[in-house]
Amino acid sequence: MASVTYDHVTKEFGNVLAVNDLNMEIADKEFLVFVGPSGCGKTTALRLLAGLEEISRGQILIGDRVVNDVAPKDRDIAMVFQSYALYPHLTVFDNMAFSLKLRGTPKEEIKKRVGEAAEILGINELLDRKPRQLSGGQRQRVAVGRAIVRHPKVFLFDEPLSNLDAKLRVQTRAEISKLHQRLQTTFIYVTHDQTEAMTMATRIAVTNKGMLQQLDTPQAMYDRPANMFVAGFIGSPAMNFFPGKIKKEGGKLFVETAGFTVAIPDERAKPYFDYVDKKVVFGIRPEDVKNPQFMPPNIHGEKMSAKVDVIELMGNEIYLYLVSGGNSFVARVDPRTSFKAGEDVQVALNMDNFHIFDTETEQAIR
């Protein structure tokens, strides 16, 4: 088992800065997920660790060992790709055993390791089949099994669920989480899907344009996003943003936008006195926009008027697409809500969970 350290790592492809001064430590046995939009540098960061790309500047350590000049095969890592990359002419057993045979591992040891991996993944009955006889989910398990048999210090996963249908993705991500608990090995996982990141990670690293935006636990990142990019990326539907100003009246602070004005609770007002009469961005998540009729007790609910544009019935909840003061936003409300499209309604903002960002830097104000 081993920790992983990115020590001021930079990767340039010509004039393109794919990874910009990445500096982070991943603890032994941690499940870290890199997440971000396409082209943000997350896969490049993984490939640098695997030795599939050469570092432009900085160092990568696995444990206490600098691996910049170590060949990929000697880094004691195993990688699972988006593409299953199975040999079509080999059986499942031979696909899983292939790397061990190349290393000259004794036959009995190969049989033991493949058997153990197949047992963990529930694919014992598939060992004699060829890849063409398997479903997508089964092929992905074989690809994971091929990594497990190597007993690596670090597992690397590059968007391994992208080729699976929605139901199978949910099932497989749960299996990967259980696998991490069972193997007690360092997992580093890349995805563009923030749901995968939130449900599996010990910590999440959000990246954008080659730069690390925030590194934190899933709940801390949801509750306290560092900036507007993280706030808009983590959470589904995304956080609502409203340009506005901080106003002061009679010792109390308010957020004033084009469509509404809401009071900031006194216990949360202190960080914003320096921003009185300055432009800010007010953020609130859809789940904190309530139907006043079904609002939970003991929260600071500030009412505002809006017009219902679109309604999406989800069964256990309703998504309302609303418009106020020229701003479009989303609410996730109680399924008993009876609003209709085109109707003028009142909703309540949960001011216990609001966010305010600096307009110029886009950083959260705390």
pLDDT at 85 over 90: no
In the chain, the percentage of residues whose pLDDT exceeds 70 is 100
Kindly tell me if the per-residue pLDDT of 150 is higher than 80: yes
Mean of all residue pLDDT scores within the chain: 94
Q: What is the mean pLDDT of residues 317-345?
A: 96
Cα 243–351–244 angle (5° rounding)? 15
Pair 318, 303: CB distance under 8 Å: no
Q: Which residue has the higher pLDDT, 322 or 299?
A: 322
| Range from 12-16, 154-158, 169-173, 248-252 carrying the lowest mean pLDDT | 169-173
Least confident of 95-99, 215-219, 226-230, 281-285: 95-99
How do residues 198-216 score in pLDDT, each as one tens digit?
999 999 999 999 999 999 9
118-128 burial, b at 16+ Cβ within 10 Å, e below that, comes to: bebbebeebbe
Residue 1 has pLDDT above 80, yes or no: no
pTM: 0.90
What kind of fold does domain 4-233 have according to CATH?
Rossmann fold (3.40.50)
**Residue 168, pLDDT score:** 80
Nearest alpha-carbon partner for 174 in 198, 155, 192, 199: 199
DSSP letters along 66-89, please?
Answer: E-TTS-GGGS-EEEE-SS----TT
Q: Is the pLDDT of residue 40 over 80?
A: yes
Instruction: Measure CA 245 to chain center.
Output: 31
pLDDT at 162 over 90: no
Sign of CA dihedral 57, 58, 62, 67: positive
With respect to CATH, is domain 240-358 assigned 2.10.60.10? no
- Mean of pLDDT values over 244-269: 95
Paired tokens of 123: 């694919």
Contact 264, 272 (CB under 8 A): yes
pLDDT band at 165 (very low <50, low <70, confident <90, very high): confident
Q: Mean pLDDT, to the nearest integer, of 111-137?
A: 91
pLDDT at 363: 98
Calculate helix-pair angle for 166-183, 107-121, nearest 10 degrees: 130
Residue 178 vs residues 148, 201, 293, 356: alpha-carbon distances, Å: 14, 12, 41, 37
**What pLDDT is stored for residue 68 in this prediction?**
96
Average pLDDT over residues 171-197: 91
Average pLDDT of span 68-80? 93
The mean pLDDT of 236-248, rounded to a whole number, is 96
User: Quick one: pLDDT at residue 334?
Assistant: 96
User: Taking residues 176-189, what's their average pLDDT?
Assistant: 92
Domain positions in the chain:
4-233, 240-358
pLDDT score at 163: 79
Quote the CA–CA distance of 241 and 186 in Å, as a whole number: 36
